[in-house]
Protein backbone atom coordinates (compact mmCIF):
# COMPACT_ATOMS: atom_id res chain seq x y z
CA UNK A 1 0.00 0.00 0.00
CA UNK A 2 1.27 3.47 -0.75
CA UNK A 3 0.20 6.72 0.86
CA UNK A 4 0.74 10.09 -0.75
CA UNK A 5 0.22 13.12 1.46
CA UNK A 6 -0.53 16.50 -0.08
CA UNK A 7 -1.95 19.93 0.70
CA UNK A 8 -0.84 19.75 4.31
CA UNK A 9 -1.00 22.96 6.31
CA UNK A 10 -2.27 23.95 9.73
CA UNK A 11 -5.89 23.38 8.75
CA UNK A 12 -5.93 20.53 6.26
CA UNK A 13 -4.13 17.47 5.01
CA UNK A 14 -4.96 15.07 2.18
CA UNK A 15 -3.76 11.48 1.95
CA UNK A 16 -4.25 9.34 -1.13
CA UNK A 17 -4.21 5.61 -0.49
CA UNK A 18 -3.34 3.00 -3.09
CA UNK A 19 -4.05 -0.52 -1.87
CA UNK A 20 -3.30 -2.23 -5.16
CA UNK A 21 -2.22 -5.84 -4.51
CA UNK A 22 0.95 -7.28 -5.99
CA UNK A 23 0.56 -10.95 -5.13
CA UNK A 24 -2.55 -12.30 -6.84
CA UNK A 25 -2.33 -15.98 -5.94
CA UNK A 26 -0.44 -19.29 -6.22
CA UNK A 27 2.84 -17.58 -5.46
CA UNK A 28 6.10 -19.27 -4.54
CA UNK A 29 9.05 -17.53 -2.99
CA UNK A 30 12.78 -18.09 -2.73
CA UNK A 31 15.21 -16.45 -0.36
CA UNK A 32 18.74 -15.26 -1.10
CA UNK A 33 21.18 -12.52 -0.15
CA UNK A 34 20.85 -9.26 -1.98
CA UNK A 35 24.14 -7.40 -2.29
CA UNK A 36 24.53 -3.68 -2.78
CA UNK A 37 26.79 -2.61 -5.59
CA UNK A 38 28.90 -0.40 -3.36
CA UNK A 39 27.30 2.99 -2.92
CA UNK A 40 24.37 2.02 -0.73
CA UNK A 41 20.93 1.78 -2.20
CA UNK A 42 17.22 1.68 -1.66
CA UNK A 43 15.86 -1.67 -2.71
CA UNK A 44 12.37 -1.27 -4.12
CA UNK A 45 9.69 -3.91 -3.80
CA UNK A 46 8.75 -5.82 -6.95
CA UNK A 47 12.11 -5.04 -8.57
CA UNK A 48 13.29 -7.43 -11.25
CA UNK A 49 16.35 -9.17 -9.81
CA UNK A 50 18.86 -11.66 -11.09
CA UNK A 51 21.69 -13.66 -9.54
CA UNK A 52 25.43 -13.53 -10.01
CA UNK A 53 26.25 -17.09 -10.90
CA UNK A 54 29.55 -17.29 -9.03
CA UNK A 55 28.28 -15.96 -5.69
CA UNK A 56 24.57 -16.61 -5.85
CA UNK A 57 23.95 -13.04 -4.69
CA UNK A 58 20.92 -11.14 -5.92
CA UNK A 59 21.38 -7.89 -7.79
CA UNK A 60 19.09 -5.71 -9.87
CA UNK A 61 18.71 -7.16 -13.34
CA UNK A 62 21.54 -5.95 -15.61
CA UNK A 63 20.52 -6.42 -19.21
CA UNK A 64 24.07 -6.35 -20.60
CA UNK A 65 25.84 -8.35 -17.88
CA UNK A 66 27.68 -11.57 -18.51
CA UNK A 67 28.09 -12.90 -14.97
CA UNK A 68 24.69 -14.52 -14.82
CA UNK A 69 22.86 -11.38 -13.68
CA UNK A 70 21.61 -10.84 -17.21
CA UNK A 71 18.97 -13.49 -16.54
CA UNK A 72 16.15 -12.42 -14.15
CA UNK A 73 15.15 -14.89 -11.45
CA UNK A 74 12.16 -13.14 -9.92
CA UNK A 75 10.67 -10.05 -8.33
CA UNK A 76 11.63 -8.64 -4.94
CA UNK A 77 9.08 -9.22 -2.19
CA UNK A 78 9.52 -7.16 0.97
CA UNK A 79 6.50 -8.41 2.85
CA UNK A 80 4.37 -5.50 1.82
CA UNK A 81 6.95 -2.76 2.44
CA UNK A 82 7.60 -0.40 -0.43
CA UNK A 83 11.37 -0.44 -0.02
CA UNK A 84 14.27 -1.11 2.31
CA UNK A 85 17.65 0.55 2.63
CA UNK A 86 20.78 -1.47 1.96
CA UNK A 87 24.08 -0.09 3.22
CA UNK A 88 27.05 0.25 0.92
CA UNK A 89 28.35 -3.15 -0.15
CA UNK A 90 26.15 -4.81 2.46
CA UNK A 91 24.13 -7.92 1.94
CA UNK A 92 20.55 -8.44 3.02
CA UNK A 93 18.57 -11.64 3.02
CA UNK A 94 15.39 -11.07 1.06
CA UNK A 95 12.59 -13.01 -0.53
CA UNK A 96 11.73 -12.89 -4.18
CA UNK A 97 8.68 -14.24 -5.88
CA UNK A 98 9.20 -16.54 -8.83
CA UNK A 99 5.89 -18.34 -9.28
CA UNK A 100 2.23 -17.48 -9.45
CA UNK A 101 0.12 -14.51 -10.39
CA UNK A 102 1.51 -11.04 -9.84
CA UNK A 103 0.26 -7.58 -10.77
CA UNK A 104 2.41 -6.58 -13.70
CA UNK A 105 1.49 -2.93 -13.28
CA UNK A 106 3.53 -2.76 -10.07
CA UNK A 107 6.71 -4.43 -11.33
CA UNK A 108 9.76 -2.19 -10.80
CA UNK A 109 12.53 -2.17 -13.34
CA UNK A 110 16.20 -1.25 -13.02
CA UNK A 111 17.70 1.18 -15.49
CA UNK A 112 14.37 2.13 -17.05
CA UNK A 113 13.87 -1.31 -18.55
CA UNK A 114 10.36 -2.44 -19.38
CA UNK A 115 8.52 -5.70 -19.87
CA UNK A 116 9.43 -5.34 -23.53
CA UNK A 117 13.16 -5.21 -22.81
CA UNK A 118 15.05 -8.18 -24.14
CA UNK A 119 16.72 -10.75 -21.92
CA UNK A 120 19.98 -11.58 -23.58
CA UNK A 121 19.30 -14.15 -26.27
CA UNK A 122 15.99 -15.12 -24.73
CA UNK A 123 13.39 -12.67 -25.95
CA UNK A 124 11.19 -10.21 -24.13
CA UNK A 125 11.27 -9.88 -20.37
CA UNK A 126 7.56 -10.60 -19.94
CA UNK A 127 7.90 -13.86 -21.84
CA UNK A 128 10.98 -14.73 -19.79
CA UNK A 129 9.19 -14.08 -16.49
CA UNK A 130 6.24 -16.18 -17.63
CA UNK A 131 8.61 -18.96 -18.53
CA UNK A 132 9.82 -18.91 -14.91
CA UNK A 133 6.30 -19.60 -13.75
CA UNK A 134 5.11 -16.10 -13.07
CA UNK A 135 1.71 -15.18 -14.45
CA UNK A 136 1.60 -11.48 -15.24
CA UNK A 137 -1.84 -10.02 -14.73
CA UNK A 138 -3.27 -6.60 -14.70
CA UNK A 139 -6.27 -5.46 -12.70
CA UNK A 140 -8.97 -3.18 -14.05
CA UNK A 141 -9.03 -0.30 -11.60
CA UNK A 142 -12.54 0.85 -10.81
CA UNK A 143 -11.69 3.54 -8.31
CA UNK A 144 -9.65 6.71 -8.22
CA UNK A 145 -8.36 9.15 -5.66
CA UNK A 146 -9.98 12.53 -5.23
CA UNK A 147 -8.70 15.88 -6.46
CA UNK A 148 -5.45 16.87 -4.76
Partner 1 sequence: MSIALEQHAAEFTQAIIDVYKEEVPTPSFLRSFFTTVSKPSKFVEIWVQRGTEKIAVDVNRGGGGRRNQFSKESQKVFLAPFYDEYFDATSLDTYDNMVNMGAPAELVGSTVRNIGEKLQTLRDKINRAKELQASQVFETGVVQLNSGDNIDFKRKATSIVDPGAYWGTTTTDIESQLIAAGTFLRTDGKSSAKVLNMIMSSTAWIALKKSDYFTKKANYNNVVLLDINMPIADSTGASYHGQITAGSFILNCWTYDETYETDAGVDTRYLDANNVIILPATGTRFVMAHAGLPKIIADPARAEFNFINNMAAEFMVYNNIDTKRFAHNFGVMSAPIAVPVSIDRIYTLQAISAEIEQG
Give residues in contact with partner 1 (CB under 8 A). Answer: 7, 9-21, 24, 137-148
CB 40 within 8 A of CB 85: yes
Nearer to partner 1, 4 or 53 (CB): 4
Nearer to partner 1, 92 or 99 (CB): 99
- Least distance from partner 1 to the Cβ atom of residue 101, Å: 9
- In angstroms, rounded to a whole number, what is the distance separating the alpha carbons of residues 59 and 61? 6
Q: Are strands 123-124 and 118-119 parallel, antiparallel or unpaired?
A: antiparallel
Nearer to partner 1, 20 or 131 (CB): 20
Determine the distance from the C-alpha atom of residue 65 to the mean position of all C-alpha atoms in its chain, rounded to a whole number.
19
Element (H, E) at 35: strand 23-35
Helix (H, G, I), strand (E, B) or coil at 9: coil
- Least distance from partner 1 to the Cβ atom of residue 135, Å: 11
- Least distance from partner 1 to the Cβ atom of residue 68, Å: 34
- Least distance from partner 1 to the Cβ atom of residue 95, Å: 23
Within the chain, what is the greatest distance between any pair of CA atoms? 57
Nearer to partner 1, 16 or 67 (CB): 16
Amino acid sequence: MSITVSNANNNQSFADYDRTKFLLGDNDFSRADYIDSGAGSTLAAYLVVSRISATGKLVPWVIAASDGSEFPVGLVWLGGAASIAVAASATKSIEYVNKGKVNKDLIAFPNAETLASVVKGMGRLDDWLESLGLVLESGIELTAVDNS
